[in-house]
Amino acid sequence: MVRAPPAEAVLHRFRHFATGTVLVEHSADAFDTRLLARTIGEALENDNVDTSRLAGRLWGLRDTIGLERLCAELGVVHRGPHTALGDAEATAACFLELVTRGSELLGWRTLGDLLADGQPPPPRLLTEPPRRPRAAGPQAPARAADGDAADEGARRRRRRGGRRRRRGAAEAEGEAPITPSGSTDTTE
C-alpha cells in the first residue's frame, strides 16, 4: 500500500512550485485554489485564470461550463476524465484553445487581458468550521414572514429526500409511463 505524503509537505512543495506563477485551472472559484487556500489557512498569492470564466466571456455564458462539455465544444480530447492528470491535461489544452479564439474574437493580447476576463474573486477563508442549520422546533427562533419559512421548508424537503429521481426516458420525451399492468398511466 502506497501512503500519501503528509499534507504539510505537499503544500510546501506546491507553494515553492507556484511561486511567481499565474495558475490556470478550470472552475477556479469552485474548487482547487479555494481548497488549497482553506487548507493553508490563507489565500494564495498567485493570480489565476479560470478556463470556465474565459469560456463564459467568450460565449456570453451566465453559468459555468463543465470541463467535459468545454472539451467537447472546443474539440479537445479529454483522456481520463475526473482524474488529476487527465483533468489537468484537458484544462491546459482548453486554455490554449480559448486563448487562440479569444485573441481573434475579443482581442486578448496580454496576460492582463486574460486576468481581466478570467480571474475569479478571491476565496473567502473560514475562521471557524461552518455550522449546520438547526432543525426548526420549539426552541427555533421565529422566521420572518417574507417567505424565509417556505424557503427553509423546501431545503429541508430536499435534504430529507435526497436528489429527486430522474424521469424515465419515455416520460422525458412526453410519453406517459407504462404501469406494471401494462396500461398507460395518465395521472401525474
Q: Are 108 and 114 in contact (CB under 8 A)?
A: yes
Domain annotation covers residue 31: yes
CATH number at residue 35: 3.30.420.10
What is the per-residue pLDDT across 72-125, written as a single tens digit (0 to 9) for each? 999 999 999 999 899 999 999 999 999 999 999 999 999 999 999 998 876 665
C-alpha cell at 44: 494564495
pTM, to two decimals: 0.62
Domain annotation covers residue 8: no
The total number of structural domains in the chain stands at 1
Return the bridge partners of 25, or none: 50
Domain annotation covers residue 92: yes
Q: Rounded to 10 degrees, what is the CA torsion of 82, 85, 86, 91?
A: 100
The residue segments making up the domain with residue 30 are: 21-118
Domain annotation covers residue 127: no
What distance separates the 2 farthest-apart alpha carbons in the chain? 68
Domain annotation covers residue 5: no
CA 54-39-158 angle, 5° bins: 70
Distance from C-alpha of 6 to C-alpha of 4, rounded to nearest angstrom = 6
Domain annotation covers residue 75: yes
**pLDDT range class, residue 31, cuts 50, 70, 90:** confident
Domain annotation covers residue 173: no
pLDDT at 177 over 50: no
Domain annotation covers residue 69: yes
